[in-house]
Amino acid sequence: MEELIAKRYIKALKSSSDMASLENMVVVFSTLAESFKDEKFAAIFGNPNIASQVKSEILLEAVKSANSEALNNLIKLLVENRRIKVIPAIAQELQKDMANATKTYSGVVYSDTVMTDSVMQDLSSGLGKKFDSSISLSFIQSDFNGIKVEVEGLGVEINFSKDRINSQIIEHIVKAI
């Protein structure tokens, strides 16, 4: 539900802003979204006993460095409509929207074996060519028996499981007999 609300606000932002302003807003909203992970910060904005004016002043002071009237108006509107908790969803949707506009995505590689930088670079460039995008991959060592590549912005998940490959080889041999 929050994603749908966030998309409406982003649509309005996109119609009134240029690409540089939107990139600036991505940074601002990402920072605000990180602040909501702090329990004290979230408690202040979730507390109905704190006046909307105070909440508005806090958020406007936080985004003051962006020097954007559109951003200030959006913050005021969010506070007025009691939709402050939508800020993390706005940040996430803005990041997705900018990634799609610039065709720059980030992904994660999971494996139980350590991947070298050259292998990671080859995976990044190969996927980038395949999807006509710029893809940067980071490695996370996990207990996955094989290699799993996730690029969330593209909706891509590639998975090579050693167990699955072994079972498919056995099935193929059994069918051949």
Question: pTM of the full predicted structure?
Answer: 0.69
Q: Which of 47, 70, 99 is the last residue of a domain?
A: 99
The per-residue pLDDT for range 26-64, each reduced to its tens digit, is: 888 888 888 888 888 888 888 888 888 888 888 888 878
Taking residues 93-119, report their average pLDDT: 85
Show the tokens assigned to 148.
Answer: 């799993």
Per the structure, the complete domain to which residue 21 belongs is given by 2-99
Q: Do 67 and 52 have their domain in common?
A: yes
Q: Do 86 and 134 have their domain in common?
A: no
**Tally of domains in the chain:** 2
Q: Which of 65, 99, 133 is the last residue of a domain?
A: 99
Q: Residue 137 forms beta bridges with which residues? A: 107
Q: Do 95 and 127 have their domain in common?
A: no
Q: Do 115 and 67 have their domain in common?
A: no
Q: Do 121 and 153 have their domain in common?
A: yes
Transcribe 81-149 into DSSP letters.
TT-GGGHHHHHHHHHHHHHHHHTEEEEEEEESSPPPHHHHHHHHHHHHHHHTSEEEEEEEE-S-SEEEE
Q: Which of 44, 73, 99 is the last residue of a domain?
A: 99
Q: Is the pLDDT at 129 greater than 80, yes or no?
A: yes
Q: Do 114 and 90 have their domain in common?
A: no
Which is nearest to 22 in space by CA: 89, 107, 96, 128? 96
Question: How far apart are alpha carbons 80 and 25 in whole angstroms?
Answer: 20
Q: Do 139 and 169 have their domain in common?
A: yes
